[in-house]
């Protein structure tokens, strides 16, 4: 991979991030009007109290001055202070990031592995009952809204059957530590992870199926069969490695989107991650928290899109010369 290709992709991502930073400021500072008036509406605040609150939250001065301070502070990873907790937004986001990363990581691995296997089986046995059943199932789960699927699982498996807790990351008042705590957290994670796994399973399965069907038409597979290689060897050594390239890039792209798209699922299951933090910030409204979360979500999508571009170019040299 040449340095020019990497430099172009990195500069493009930085330009996109710079646009997001500017848009992020004007979205929450200009469009939303006066945050102090919105936050403390219905309360009789004196002009001195309003001015003190504006200074405390960095809302004093002109919009140009505010934008200048915002850019400098963002470059220093200072995202302001939360209206609700009065704690640094960066600390609040960092404390909520690991539950989301764990949830998204587990569901991404599961949906990828099972989705790829289902896609391979469906494509290799195209037109068979296996193909119809697997494709129908994955299309059904892919078309379901994740919040609706989550509520179904919550009502059936947690409320009616009582097999799993209805929410949270640990039991109330738990004193578990070590392995016991890890198992308890895994028990709480099962339903939200299952929801995200089923929601994204179909995408991987359908992409893998389509890619493998295209690969199966290539001449080199006919040549491999003509040499007397068994079908299982032709599939595993020749067809699948080439067909899986789109899935590899899809994983990188989806991880950024799932990280920001787990808001509904985390809210339904009261999972204390970035999604639930977003819902709580919207209820406030906690504008600095929303601003910080929007920036983190956007940056994650930009980062993983860059990773996908570079990864695909590394795996397929034709992309670098296109």
Query: Is there a contact between 170 and 164 (Cβ–Cβ < 8 Å)?
Result: no
Query: Is there a contact between 39 and 285 (Cβ–Cβ < 8 Å)?
Result: yes
Mean pLDDT of 267-293: 83
92-321: what fold? MetI-like fold (1.10.3720)
pLDDT at residue 294 is higher than 70: yes
Phi-psi region of 145 (alpha: psi -120 to 50; beta: other; left: phi over 0): beta
Check residue 60 and give its pLDDT.
Answer: 65
Mean pLDDT of 53-65: 67
- pLDDT-derived band at 271 (thresholds 50, 70, 90) equals confident
Query: Is there a contact between 144 and 229 (Cβ–Cβ < 8 Å)?
Result: no
More confident residue, 149 or 262: 149
Check residue 135 and give its pLDDT.
Answer: 87
Which tens digit of pLDDT belongs to each residue from 226-258?
776 676 777 767 677 777 778 877 887 777 766
Check residue 54 and give its pLDDT.
Answer: 65
- How far is the C-alpha of 78 from the C-alpha of 287, rounded, in Å? 14
How is 197-223 classified by DSSP, letter by letter? HHHHHHHHHHHHHHHHHHHTTSHHHHH
Residues with Cβ within 8 Å of 80's Cβ and at least 6 positions away in sequence, in order, are: 57, 58, 73, 88, 89, 288, 291, 292
Torsional sign, CA 197, 199, 202, 203: negative
**For the chain, counts of helices (H) and of strands (E):** 15, 0
- Dihedral over alpha carbons 20, 103, 98, 167 (to 10 degrees): 110
Least confident of 79-83, 116-120, 148-152, 172-176: 172-176
Check residue 244 and give its pLDDT.
Answer: 78
Residue spans of the domains in the chain: they are: 3-75, 92-321
Cβ neighbours of 86 (radius 10 Å): 9
- pLDDT-derived band at 32 (thresholds 50, 70, 90) equals low
Locate the DSSP E strands across the chain. Answer: none
pLDDT at residue 281 is higher than 80: yes
Tracing tokens 């004093």 back to the chain, one arrives at: 60
């Amino acid at each position: 991979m040449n340095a020019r290709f990497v430099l172009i992709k990195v500069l493009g991502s930085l330009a996109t991030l710079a646009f997001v930073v500017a848009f992020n400021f004007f979205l929450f500072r200009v469009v939303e009007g006066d945050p102090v008036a919105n936050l403390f509406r219905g309360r009789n605040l004196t002009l001195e109290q309003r001015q003190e609150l504006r200074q405390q939250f960095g809302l004093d001065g002109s919009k140009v001055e505010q934008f200048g301070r915002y850019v400098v502070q963002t470059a220093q990873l200072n995202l302001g202070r939360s209206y609700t907790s009065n704690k640094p937004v960066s600390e609040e986001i960092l404390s909520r990031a690991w539950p989301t990363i764990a949830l998204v990581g587990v569901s991404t691995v599961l949906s990828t592995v099972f989705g790829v296997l289902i896609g391979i089986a469906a494509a290799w046995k195209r037109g068979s009952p296996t193909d119809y059943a697997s494709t129908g199932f994955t299309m059904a789960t892919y078309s379901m809204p994740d919040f609706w699927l989550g509520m179904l699982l919550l009502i059936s498996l947690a409320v009616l059957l009582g097999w799993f807790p209805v929410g949270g990351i640990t039991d109330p008042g738990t004193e578990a530590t070590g392995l016991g705590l890890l198992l308890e957290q895994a028990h709480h994670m099962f339903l939200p992870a299952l929801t995200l796994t089923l929601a994204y399973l179909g995408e991987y399965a359908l992409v893998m199926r389509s890619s493998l069907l295209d690969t199966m038409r290539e001449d080199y597979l006919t040549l491999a069969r003509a040499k007397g290689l068994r079908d299982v060897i032709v599939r595993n050594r020749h067809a699948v490695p080439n067909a899986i390239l789109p899935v590899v890039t899809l994983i990188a792209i989806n991880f950024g989107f799932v990280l920001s798209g787990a808001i509904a699922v985390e809210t339904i299951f009261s999972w204390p991650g970035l999604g639930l933090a977003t819902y709580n910030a919207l209820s406030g409204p906690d504008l600095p928290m929303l601003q910080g979360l929007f920036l983190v979500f956007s940056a994650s999508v930009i980062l993983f899109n860059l990773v996908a571009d570079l990864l695909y170019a590394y795996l397929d040299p034709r992309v670098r010369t296109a």
